[in-house]
């Protein structure tokens, strides 16, 4: 039984060579994700397909995930909704600029969370939600690059989809309802409004 987590003691760091050895025994209970972190993460990270991160608690890896640059393609109805959300945000100084921007663009800068996995004995303890809150805060408050959305290709099962839904993610389309993954997104601007 895992003790109650002290979230102030959690560290999120880029995966190092030393961490790769620790990941060989990491298990989240999903064979595809486990295999990815055991065999593929190092090559993909070295090729700059994404950046790989681990979540440490008491010097043990309790979760891992990847981040990659992405684009979100929105259809006209979605763009209208997003333009309204941006213009309703009190921190935006010129809502007309945002409405015009959303009207003229089809694709918007995003960051993609990939391969998010929490070790089986730490699941349902708030670790995944902590990661999502951490990423929302980082991308809402650090001006490293343009980023309007966080995207994820959620494993298409009720538990995973509910997790992202609970954390504010929206389904991008219903066309992938029977696919292996569901495309979801989170508008970072809305997080700025509620934080």
Is the pLDDT reported for residue 125 higher than 50?
Answer: yes
Kindly state the DSSP code that residue 144 receives in the 8-state scheme.
S
**What is the band of 62 on the pLDDT scale with cuts at 50, 70, 90?**
very high
Is the pLDDT reported for residue 192 higher than 70?
Answer: no
- Domain extent listing, the chain: 7-194
Mean pLDDT across the chain, nearest whole number? 84
pLDDT tens, residue by residue, 67-79: 999 998 877 666 6
Which of 25-34, 153-162, 186-195 shows the lowest mean pLDDT across its residues?
A: 186-195
Measuring CA to CA, how many Å separate 66 from each of 4, 21, 37, 193? 26, 17, 10, 26
Extract the tokens encoding 82. 């997003």
Check whether domain 7-194 has CATH 3.40.50.300, yes or no: no
**What is the band of 195 on the pLDDT scale with cuts at 50, 70, 90?**
very low
Report the pLDDT averaged over residues 147-172. Answer: 92
**What is the band of 85 on the pLDDT scale with cuts at 50, 70, 90?**
low
As to burial, measured by CB atoms within 10 angstroms (0-12 exposed, 13-18 middle, 19+ buried), residue 43 is exposed
- Pairwise pLDDT comparison (3 vs 54), residue with the higher score: 54
């Amino acid at each position: 039984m895992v003790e109650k987590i002290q979230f102030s003691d959690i560290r999120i760091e880029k995966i190092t060579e030393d961490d790769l050895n620790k990941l060989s025994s990491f298990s989240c209970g999903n064979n595809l994700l486990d295999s990815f972190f055991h065999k593929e993460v190092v090559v993909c990270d070295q090729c700059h397909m994404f950046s790989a991160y681990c979540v440490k608690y008491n010097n043990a890896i309790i979760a891992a995930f990847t981040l990659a640059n992405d684009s979100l393609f929105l259809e006209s109805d979605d763009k209208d909704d997003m333009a309204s959300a941006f213009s309703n945000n009190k921190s935006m100084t010129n809502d007309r600029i945002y409405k015009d921007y959303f009207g003229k663009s089809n694709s918007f800068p995003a960051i993609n969370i990939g391969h998010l996995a929490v070790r089986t004995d730490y699941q349902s303890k708030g670790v995944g939600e902590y990661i999502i809150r951490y990423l929302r805060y980082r991308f809402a408050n650090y001006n490293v690059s343009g980023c309007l959305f966080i995207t994820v290709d959620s494993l298409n099962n009720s538990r995973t989809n509910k997790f992202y839904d609970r954390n504010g993610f929206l389904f991008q389309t219903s066309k992938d309802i029977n696919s292996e993954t569901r495309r979801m997104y989170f508008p970072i601007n809305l997080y700025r409004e509620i934080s």
